[in-house]
Amino acid sequence: MQQRPLGRTDLRVSRICLGTMTFGEQNSEAEAHAQLDRAAERGVNFLDAAELYPIPPKAETQGRTESFVGSWLRARGNRDRMVVATKVVGRSAMTWFRRDGSEPRLDRRNVLEAVEGSLRRLGTDCIDLYQIHWPDRPTAGFGSVPTRWTAPDPVADEVAIAETAEVFADLVRDGKIRHAGLSNESAWGTMRWLSLAETGVAPRMASVQNAYNLLNRTFETAQAEIAAREDVGLLAYSPLAQGYLTGKYAGGALPTGSRKQLFDRLQRYEKPGTAEAVDAYVALARDFGLAPATFANAFVLAQPFVAAAIIGATTITQLDECLDADAVVWTPAMQDAVDALHQRFGNPAP
């Protein structure tokens, strides 16, 4: 599989990254290991986890995903061949992440406790890419790339980016993390981090992990230029729009074992106009002779500002369809057809 540089770091990562948020909820440890084995066999060297995972977040399962990834790394003895990424939660009302039961913030105490927990569960002494899952400050919408601006209510105890940046700089200095990255961040937030890096306060952010797919191309409006000019590549999550772009929910279908059937947490992709757009993109994929999941992932991989697409699956069959995108030759005809549909539908599910 093709590898790409991650930002301006010395890391080279497979352009498909295996997302792991199903490990520990929808997938057992054995199933997680089987997915990791298949991904590695097909050239994936990049794994993404989070202290939050698995999804949906619950006190009784929190951290299980990292533990499953860690047990696989130990069993296969391949830690030196894998690029391991994980995340610290941002401001949250969930109280089970910290030992004292407090609500997480991105201050020194919280970040240091979080990184030590992730290192322990992953069974490693250094995390290759440590990401901020979402900002401490309130934002206009999760992912910070809304199509309409809504002013968020400020909070009195907001942790300044500069304060968090100093902690991350110390983690790099102490060898706990190699590089840092952002997630669910805006263009302003990304540039703020880069400005702090220029003054030596913060490590330079290598990447930003935001939602990006055929139904949500809002990253292109401001952040794509940052990604291209500043080498802060997009790690695109939800390339299948939480499964909608596979077509499995078409016509109101509710497959047994699907995330919608189990958890009913897919409202981000159930907004007005989204169903029509999904049907059109699924039909387009089939017109080009590709499985819809393969086509949707291939679109993401083809965009020049994308460092990697983060795929997720619960079965090996699903995983293979996503991995097949690596072999697709994305043509100008495909891009033109996608852009024509985007002109009609815009971004119905930001």
Say whether pLDDT at 102 is over 70. yes
CA 300/CA 118 separation, integer angstroms: 29
pLDDT in tens, 284-295: 999 999 999 999
Say whether pLDDT at 321 is over 70. yes
Residue 118 in domain? yes
**Is 92 in contact with 103 (CB distance < 8 Å)?**
yes
Q: What's the CATH number where 340 sits?
A: 3.20.20.100
Say whether pLDDT at 142 is over 90. no
What are the φ and ψ backbone dihedral angles of 258, each rounded to 5 degrees?
-75, 160
Q: What's the distance, CA 191 to chain centroid? A: 19
Annotated active-site residue in 53, 130, 212, 249:
53
Residue 244 annotated to the active site: no
Task: Count how many domains the chain has.
Answer: 1
Share of the chain above pLDDT 70, in %: 100
For residue 28, give its domain range. 3-345
Residue 350 in domain? no
Mean pLDDT of the chain, nearest integer: 97
Share of the chain above pLDDT 90, in %: 95
Residue 322 in domain? yes
> For the whole model, what pTM was predicted?
0.97
End-to-end CA distance of the chain: 30
Residue 125 in domain? yes
What per-residue confidence (pLDDT) applies to 144? 67
CA 194/CA 180 separation, integer angstroms: 11
Q: Is residue 338 very low, low, confident or very high in pLDDT (cuts 50, 70, 90)?
A: very high
**Is 303 in contact with 338 (CB distance < 8 Å)?**
no
How confident is the model over 239-245, as a mean pLDDT?
Answer: 97
Residue 100 in domain? yes
Say whether pLDDT at 141 is over 70. yes
Residue 137 in domain? yes
Say whether pLDDT at 111 is over 80. yes
pLDDT in tens, 26-84: 999 999 999 999 999 999 999 999 999 999 999 999 999 999 999 999 999 999 999 99
HSE (side-chain half, CA atoms, 13 Å) at 191: 10
Structure tokens given for 121: 């569960």
